[in-house]
Amino acid sequence: MGMGLKIIQNAINDRDEIIAVSPIVDLTQAYGYSRKVYYQTVFQKDLANVRDIDVITSRVVYATHIYVAILFDQHGNIILQIRNTEKAHNPGKLDKTVGGHILARDFHDPLWTGTQELMQELFIPIISAEPDDFEYRLGIMKNGLTACAFATRIDEPKLWWFKKVVGEDTFLAPQILHLNFGLYFGRISAADNEVGGILFMPTAIESIEGMFGLKITDDLVQLFEAYPEKIKYFSDLGKSIGAV
């Protein structure tokens, strides 16, 4: 069930999910849509390597809603995930701490998606606060950061276009990010069937690119370029709390 979202494309089998999507031309509207059918549309062979957004939007009408969390440790490092090599797109690439589709039933409570994704992939519980309350509540939470991540929304949901590598081809995919930054100082255990590995990396992207021979997702590159001040703030915040 969509829990208030009209479903405009039903699931095609029991392994399919109904994800939340919005029309690219009107992000104020949201619907439920088959995940499998959606990506069959985005990854059409004749859209491979097309960079003209007008051409793509004539065929890809909707953007998916994605929850993203980027976490920092007590040394100021950014916690990054290596995508499992079995993933359909961007396999084996270095990516955000966690990201996941917001299901239609969770659209009005996207933080639940963050809780679910972090537990499923990294076994990390998370608590979130609104931006206006983050620093105050961090004062309460900071002694518990080895047991639980603490994050906040850093921007309103907005549309991004990210390159997704599928085999030898690259596709542009429209995604509406619900973006959260936060802190976590505890142990991480990557789920074998979900995550290829975890790296604690310096926050300078030029340093990341030169390490381990790993390629970086376009998502991560664009986020580094868009939020350098936020990245520095959370990196410094992690170090300052960790030093106490």
The DSSP line for 83-122 is EPTTSSSSTT-EE-SEEEEPBGGGTT-HHHHHHHHHHHHH
CA nearest 101: which of 159, 176, 171, 156? Answer: 176
CA nearest 111: which of 180, 19, 18? Answer: 180
Q: What is the pLDDT of residue 5?
A: 92
Tell me if 180 sits within 8 A of 67, measured CB to CB: yes
Q: What is the pLDDT of residue 4?
A: 67
CATH 3.90.79.10 at 6-242, yes or no: yes
Q: Residue 92 burial by CB count (10 A; 0-12/13-18/19+): exposed, middle or buried?
A: middle
Please name the residues in contact with 42: beta carbons below 8 A apart, sequence gap of 6 or more. Answer: 60, 164, 171, 173
Q: What is the pLDDT of residue 202?
A: 80
Q: What is the pLDDT of residue 208?
A: 63
Work out the mean pLDDT of the chain and round it to a whole number: 92
Average pLDDT per 10 consecutive residues for the chain, totaling 244 residues: 77 95 97 97 94 94 97 95 88 92 94 92 94 95 96 96 94 97 94 82 67 80 94 96 89
∠ CA 149-97-48, rounded to 5°: 155
Q: What is the pLDDT of residue 2?
A: 42
Residue 40 tokens read as 């069959």
Q: Residue 212 burial by CB count (10 A; 0-12/13-18/19+): exposed, middle or buried?
A: exposed
Q: Which residue has the tokens 């986020």?
A: 223
